[in-house]
Amino acid sequence: MNDKLALPVGTTLDRFIMRKQEEFPYASGELSQLLRDIALAAKIVNREINRAGLIGVTGAFGNQNVQGEEQQKLDVIANIRFIRALRNGGEVCAILSEEEDDIILTGNNKGKYIVAIDPLDGSSNIDVNVSIGTIFSIYRRISDADLGSTPADCLQKGTCQVAAGYIVYGSSTMLVYTTGHGVNGFTYDSTLGEFFLSNPNIITPKTGAFYSCNEGGLNSFPDGIKNYLEYCKNEGYSARYIGSLVADFHRNLLKGGIYLYPQTAKTPSGKLRLMYECNALAFIIEQAGGRATDGTKRIMEIVPSELHQRCPLIIGSVEMVNKVEEMLVKEEALHTGSI
């Protein structure tokens, strides 16, 4: 009876990180601290999102970011919060933010890590109370610390990531991350101010019954993608598209499904950003047993040539991604006359 009166609350994120530190590449404590810094910023951003309607920070800020997209007030707030936390933490020598034109040098010249971040994915949905999120990638610097951060540090391919994750701010706030040893999810308890392990060792189903795609652009999709979407309908799959990448990805990760954001006639290179969105989610899905491709190539093997490089993204359950690639290859062969 007494045990039931004081049930354990579970494993906190801090304690989990400490237990797993030996799995981190070059384990010496810095990466552990860096993950804690990101978690701290996530708690602050979560607070700002929850009270946004009360303090008047919903809606557009009035500027466009480097992507040519209208910045929301919460985009600006989240960007400031994460940059400040990462700079003050001291472990990061440079930050790449989707909201900034150039590399942000933190002044921590001895810092061993580079962070690429989308501070607030799907922020335009905040006005209608839809789930939004943060996506981050962590890379180990490859330059000599005495030389300061170099462009080579900031343009590493996805296979060089030492950690990646995302935070989804929804009906509950969750932080999901990997360091290359599986994927674990933590749910935020606002009454205690802590993230607790809620989804250990996440494995995504090999196939699913959900597909996520903005079919408003269907007419300009590659024929292979059109064929796959028709296949989904014939198979009775359910369309689930929130318009917030983190939210769509999170659902498919847990339940099984596929997310498609292909190139179009208007955006021949795709629309999503390789460094801020695609690489991180590709690392996570592969660690969970899924796949991520641009249609012809593994996402994490793409060598970036610029900070804000765009990329098509097909990501999710392995059998579903394989099916898309099969249809794209077949359609390409028809067009080239090789079959």
As to burial, measured by CB atoms within 10 angstroms (0-12 exposed, 13-18 middle, 19+ buried), residue 296 is exposed
**Rg from Cα positions in the chain:** 20
Tokens 């006005």 found at? 127
Find the length of the chain: 339
For residue 224, give both structure tokens: 């292979």
| Binding site listing for Mg(2+) | 98, 118, 120-121, 277
| 270 SS3 class | coil
**13-45: b (≥16 Cβ within 10 Å) or e:** beebbeebeeebeeeeebbbebbbbbbbbbbbb
- Helices 30-50 & 13-20 angle (0-180, nearest 10): 160
| Binding site listing | 98, 118, 120-124, 214, 241, 259-261, 271, 277
For residue 8, give both structure tokens: 């354990």
The DSSP code sequence of 87-156 is HHHS-EEEEEETT-SS-EE-S-TT--EEEEEEEEETGGGGGGT--EEEEEEEEE--S-GGG---HHHHS-
| Binding site listing for substrate | 121-124, 214, 241, 259-261, 271
**Residue 207: DSSP 8-state:** S
Gap between the Cα atoms of 302 and 85, Å rounded: 29
